[in-house]
Amino acid sequence: MALLIGGAGVLVSVVAQSRDSGNEDSPRSEQPSSRPGAQWQLPDEEARVAPAKRLQPFYDQVADWQECGANECARITVPLDYAEPDGKTIKLQLLRVPATDQDAKVGALVVNPGGPGAAGTEYASQASYAFGKPLLAKFDIVGFDPRGTGSSSPIDCLSDDDLDAYLAADPSPDTPEEIAAAVEWDERMGKGCVEKSGDLAAHVSTVEAARDMDVIRAVLDERKLNYFGASYGTKLGATYADIFPETSGRLVLDGAVDVSLDARESSLGQARGFQRAIDAYVDDCVDDGGCYLGADRDAALDTITDFLDDVDAAPMKVGDRELAVGNAFYGIVLPLYNQDYWSLLDSALGAALEGRAGELLQLSDFYSSRIGDPYADNSSEAIWAINCLDDPTSMPIDEIPGQLKAFRKASPTFGDVFAWGLAGCAGIQVEVAEERAPLTAAGADPLLVTGTTRDPATPYEWAEALAEQLEPAVLVSREGDGHTAYNQGNSCVDDVVERYLLDGVVPDDAVDCPAA
């Protein structure tokens, strides 16, 4: 079943090449790096006070920052289960991009690109593309791979060959054989996570990742956490602010998730969001004249739907591989995350309609990080494991047909995919260790929630809702297309976000930023 990754991690995956892995061991106080230019100071005792005495060894550890290309990397230790801090531990991978103006440095800005499943270290390594120069100058940008992802004890659920088949499968099965296959894949995913990853499978929740962020804050000697989270990263940030309001500093939640929604309403919201995005894409194509998809919106959308049906019936050969309907779906939705990538869809889908599917398969590969050997990371497994642990709700497969009418109304093009996704967590075999709902962040410092009016992955209505749910939140709206609002070419949004992070300037009221 299709599970859509949201956030800056989708686009970071295009350039992701590899991920290192490491071993797990117990927390210990590391000596500072002796390499020339390494910066180290005595730990800040106030920043390192743990919320519970048994957690203090984790808060006391000193990161051993080492050269990591042009940046710095370190690994820290956290409990596998925060209820049993004396038990098993896991390692988290961190990457720091030093501020370009160290003399004027504000502090560290911890960042998360979303997903869930995207690697924060990769996001930080691309900081020069993701963040504006004012932030790069005065913040050390610190990315971390959340537990179970990237190089932070990555969860493993399927072999690479099986993952290929899982992603290629029809995300909107329409025959008894395809439905049976979808059920089997969900069961294999859940079973595989436990068989291949053991206890870790039950400890990759958002609440636990938020607790990890407080350890990271302490290790960075920051008395309050300054944070920028995109898409799913907004759920992670909101969870942090709710658990740790006293150490929650300046938080930007960009491309916000409505954390109050159940699985059905969340899926309906994304269906509407991606329909808005594909509508905007084909309208732009038609308005330019001579659109390769058709003379008007309806004709263009019919062309896309017919193409997906054709690929479902007969996958297209691409060398020794093939473009199946699952690959085609992911290849089409990837460029919808950012208007700047619409031209990639023009080229890839146009070629596929003429019988050449290589570019569209490549876009699908970028989406799932199938770049290395053959996968550069485990994001396609991690998104399933984290989402289904956070919310294991799964609709019985025989009830899905009754949902199709509502989902097709929300999205004539993609509605079936999102409807069938409601059964996607049927194979989950573990239970979350700690739940946290509803989220209010009561007592936290003021924070910013941003939303874009035609965001496909996190609809604008979600940003409005999250800003209302979090007591200290101020909403910043961007009129436009694409996923997330900051650093998308809108100087109004960028100015509000940067003044807030750098100087603590909180808008008196909601901010509406017109199209740039």
Q: What pLDDT digit, counting tens, does each position of 336-352 carry?
A: 999 999 999 999 999 99
pTM of the full predicted structure? 0.92
Residue spans of the domains in the chain: they are: 6-16+63-154+202-260+443-513
Count of other CB atoms within 10 angstroms of residue 46: 9
pLDDT band at 516; cut points 50, 70, 90 = confident
pLDDT band at 211; cut points 50, 70, 90 = very high
- In what order do the strands lie in the sheet containing 473-481? 66-68, 71-79, 89-97, 139-144, 107-112, 225-230, 248-254, 447-454, 473-481, 511-513
Backbone torsions φ then ψ of 273, nearest 5 degrees: -65, -45
471-488: average pLDDT: 96
What is the reported pLDDT for 37?
33
- Looking at the predicted structure, is the pLDDT value of residue 365 above 80? yes
Given the DSSP bridges, would you call strands 71-79 and 66-68 parallel, antiparallel or unpaired? antiparallel
- Cα 516 from Cα 513, distance rounded (Å): 8
What is the reported pLDDT for 290?
93
- Cα 378 from Cα 429, distance rounded (Å): 19
392-402: average pLDDT: 95
The architecture of the domain spanning 6-16+63-154+202-260+443-513 is 3-Layer(aba) Sandwich (3.40)
Whole-Å CA distances, 188 to 193, 263, 368, 421: 8, 21, 18, 16
153-179: average pLDDT: 96
Are the CB atoms for 54 and 82 separated by under 8 Å?
Answer: no
Q: Which residues are part of the catalytic machinery? A: 231, 455, 483
What is the reported pLDDT for 182?
92
Whole-Å CA distances, 56 to 29, 45, 77: 12, 11, 12
Per the rule left: phi > 0, alpha: psi between -120 and 50, beta: everything else, 226 is beta
- Cα 483 from Cα 230, distance rounded (Å): 9
Are the CB atoms for 336 and 456 separated by under 8 Å?
Answer: yes
Q: Please, what is the Cα angle at 334 between 501 and 141, to 5 degrees?
A: 25
Are the CB atoms for 103 and 121 separated by under 8 Å?
Answer: no
Per the rule left: phi > 0, alpha: psi between -120 and 50, beta: everything else, 72 is beta
The DSSP string of 110-128 is EEE-EETT--HHHHHHTHH
What is the reported pLDDT for 6?
62
pLDDT band at 371; cut points 50, 70, 90 = confident
The DSSP string of 143-206 is EE--TTSTTSS----S-HHHHHHHHHS-SS--SHHHHHHHHHHHHHHHHHHHHHHGGGGGS--H
Whether the upstream peptide bond of residue 43 has omega within 30° of 0, thus cis, is: no
287-296: average pLDDT: 95
Mean of per-residue pLDDT scores for the chain: 92
Higher pLDDT, 240 or 45: 240
Using a pLDDT cut of 90, give the percent of the chain over it.
89
- Looking at the predicted structure, is the pLDDT value of residue 16 above 80? no
- Cα 378 from Cα 147, distance rounded (Å): 12
- Looking at the predicted structure, is the pLDDT value of residue 41 above 80? no
Count of other CB atoms within 10 angstroms of residue 241: 29
Sign of the dihedral defined by the CA atoms of residues 411, 414, 417, 421, in that order: negative
Are the CB atoms for 80 and 199 separated by under 8 Å?
Answer: yes
What is the reported pLDDT for 2?
53
Q: Which of 398, 490, 476, 444 is nearest to 173 (CA)?
A: 398
- Cα 496 from Cα 135, distance rounded (Å): 12
- Cα 428 from Cα 424, distance rounded (Å): 9
- Cα 418 from Cα 250, distance rounded (Å): 34
Residues linked to residue 76 through DSSP beta bridges, in sequence order = 92
- Looking at the predicted structure, is the pLDDT value of residue 28 above 60? no
Cα dihedral: 442, 234, 19, 105 (round 10): -70
- Looking at the predicted structure, is the pLDDT value of residue 226 above 80? yes
Q: What pLDDT digit, counting tens, does each position of 74-133 carry?
A: 999 999 999 999 999 999 999 999 999 999 999 999 999 999 999 999 999 999 999 999
The token pair that represents 263 in the structure block: 């699985």
Rounded to a whole number, what is the distance in angstroms from the first to the last CA of the chain?
37
pLDDT band at 30; cut points 50, 70, 90 = very low
Q: Please, what is the Cα angle at 379 between 30 and 352, to 5 degrees?
A: 145
Whole-Å CA distances, 412 to 171, 173, 474: 15, 16, 34
